[in-house]
Chains A and B, each alone.
Chain A
């Protein structure tokens, strides 16, 4: 299996590309729906009386 491995230069290029593609998405602004979702979850919990966590 080891000789199937791309050489280190190729591997570096591939991993650089992977990081760039991933990082571009990471840097995108998170849509509001997620902040709303978290707020909603929090509210649900406080309505339940929040006895179970702490």
Chain B
């Protein structure tokens, strides 16, 4: 394999793929199986990847296609929606704001697939509305309205409608924003 083989870059995208898969499936084991499928598909179809384009977007697109086609086949084998997701996270050491974070995860898990997906793409992963629209195969306006509805629903579920009822710890937030800045585009 030469250095320019884009398959060598797959490994760099695994953490983000796992996070995206978890947000879609809300189940760690299912998420990792889906990442595995994605990696195999990407590996065997690498000739379809256009060099110079965004590999993460390409991989996320494969992953979401994998998710939606398996969801059509299985029709909710995963009953434990927030239980598993929250359970995974509960192993994390306690830190300020963890209660709100768990509440947030539960609220997020209740959103419809399309809203969760959109919010992860544009809210958490740093994709533009245009990129997300292309990845999801819908119009930019659709992405915007999904993001708005998702944020609005989360605000309701978290009772954020009344101004500053939930104040996030600034230090943690700043750290995440700083760490995230470099992985965005």
Interface positions of A (Cβ within 8 A of B): 1, 4-6, 9-11, 13-28, 30-31, 33-35, 37-38, 41-42, 45, 50, 53-54
Contact = CB atoms under 8 A, between A and B. Distances in A.
Chain B binding surface, main DSSP class: helix
26 contacts: A4-B149, A6-B155, A9-B164, A10-B155, A11-B151, A13-B166, A14-B119, A15-B151, A16-B173, A17-B168, A18-B123, A19-B176, A19-B180, A21-B89, A22-B120, A26-B15, A26-B16, A34-B11, A34-B39, A37-B36, A38-B39, A41-B40, A45-B1, A53-B1, A53-B5, A54-B5
A22 B19 contact: yes
B145 to A, nearest CB: 6
Interface of B: 1-2, 5, 7, 10-11, 14-16, 18-20, 22-23, 32, 35-36, 39-40, 43, 46-47, 89, 92, 100-101, 104-105, 108, 119-120, 123-125, 144-145, 148-149, 151-152, 154-155, 158, 160-161, 163-164, 166, 168, 172-173, 176-177, 179-180, 183
